[in-house]
Amino acid sequence: MEPIAIIGVGCRFPGAKNPEAFWQLLCNGEDAITEVPADRWDVDALYDPTPGSRGKMNTRWGGFLEQVDQFDAHFFGIAPREAVYIDPQQRLLLEVAWEALENAGQVIEQLARTNTGVFIGIGNYDYGRMIAKRDLSQLNAYIGTGNALSIAANRLSYLFDFRGPSMAIDTACSSSLVAVHLACQSLRYGESNLCLTGGVNLILSPEATIAYSHARMIAPDGRCKTFDAKANGYVRGEGCGIIVLKRLSDALRDNDTILAVIRGSAINQDGLSNGLTAPNGPSQEAVIRQALTNAEVAPSQIGYVELHGTGTSLGDPIEARALGTVLATGRPPGSRCAVGSVKTN
């Protein structure tokens, strides 16, 4: 299986406006969780510490980006009258994709009309929900394209004149990783010669947080305590991350800076488990084994794993057990594998 090179990266995360700042945040062990900003919703009106209170959420916390309402429409050749109706997630993708391509040393104008693919993980549509509450007489054509999830990827292809595959992927928490998997496949199959892939999420309205609170998914204290006996849920967060991918052989030929190499990946589904959202240990074991097989890497060679780490009493033990079962295969006594989860930041 042809290895895939990561040659560029761009990101916006809570407390970090670029990859360097994000790395420093992690090195410093900083906590980027804050109370819900006043420009999102009135948290005092919607907060109730009692779980399951009707129409209320039992958390005041989240990981939020700053200035998500700001956008240089002129820079991207978009008319201001259209930009105001474009989901800020689409606008953020444009900015971070541009930064990722610059980081990769790509001349954007030279990528026009090339087989450059775009694979974006996205599932939230808060902005469209907010606009839908307006008087029907205020709706217009820009609202349709500005809030369709498919357009999140297609707008990148359109504005940069990319001719490769372009698609939005929604598989909930795994959306961005599945997007990366599909981008790697596209490169290996020859559909694309370069790929932009990643994901975006903004929290602009309270409905989903209320629903997740009622489902007991959200940590009331705003702390995702992954692998902790006191784990009681995760914390919702915003962000956008884009990586630029090339076949490793092409990256070496073109003298690109190679940040990392993707040797293999795999996807599957839990199927029938204890519940629609309940994890399935054997399925997790199977997908880890398949990824290792595809990568031609032995379980004993793995030294670090970044886990999902939902910070729940159900999900964490199942994930840790599945990983331990697979990675213990052929591992010498005393050989350790570190694990972590960025959700805790």
Domain CATH code at residue 295? 3.40.47.10
Say whether both 165 and 312 belong to one domain.
Answer: no
- At 158-167, the pLDDT tens digits run 999 999 999 9
8 Å CB contact between 241 and 120: no
Rounded to 5 degrees, φ, ψ at 248 are -60, -40
Of residues 122, 185, 169, 177, the one with CA closest to residue 288: 177
Residue 295 pLDDT > 90:
yes
Domain range for 345: 268-345
310 and 298 in one domain? yes
pLDDT recorded at residue 314: 87
pLDDT of residue 247: 99
Query: For residue 286, how many other CB atoms are within 10 A of its CB?
Result: 15
pLDDT one-digit tens code per residue, 32-88 = 999 999 999 999 999 999 988 999 999 999 999 999 999 999 999 999 999 999 999
pLDDT digits 0-9 by tens, 173-223: 999 999 999 999 999 999 999 999 999 999 999 999 999 999 999 999 999
Structure tokens at 237: 């967060």
CB 188 within 8 A of CB 1: yes
Verify that 57 and 68 share a domain, yes or no. yes
In percent, how much of the chain has pLDDT > 90? 88
Boundary-marking domain end, from 220, 245, 265: 265
Q: Which of 265, 298, 314 is the last residue of a domain?
A: 265
CA 328 to chain centre: 29
**Whether the predicted pLDDT of 256 surpasses 90:** yes
pTM of the model: 0.96
At 107, the pLDDT band (50, 70, 90 cuts) reads very high
> Model confidence at 135, in pLDDT bands (50, 70, 90)?
confident
Same domain, 207 and 304: no
User: Quick one: DSSP state of residue 36?
Assistant: P
Confidence of residue 252 (pLDDT cuts 50, 70, 90): very high
151 & 166 share domain: yes
> How is 200-258 classified by DSSP, letter by letter?
EE---SSHHHHHHHHTT-B-TTS---TT-TT---B--B-EEEEEEEEEHHHHHHTT---
Average pLDDT over residues 327-343: 92
Least confident interval from 46-55, 101-110, 176-185, 249-258: 46-55
Q: Which one-letter amino acid corresponds to residue 12?
A: R
At 93 the pLDDT is 99
Model pLDDT, residue 345? 81
Confidence label for 312 from pLDDT (cuts 50, 70 and 90): confident
Is the domain of 229 the same as that of 143? yes
What was the pLDDT predicted at 51?
84
Domain boundary among 234, 265, 296: 265
Provide the pLDDT for residue 273.
86
- Using 50, 70 and 90 to split pLDDT, how confident is the model at 298? very high
Q: Answer yes or no: do 253 and 313 share one domain.
A: no
252, containing H or E segment: helix 248-253
Domain total of the chain: 2
Q: Specify the higher pLDDT residue, 278 or 224.
A: 224
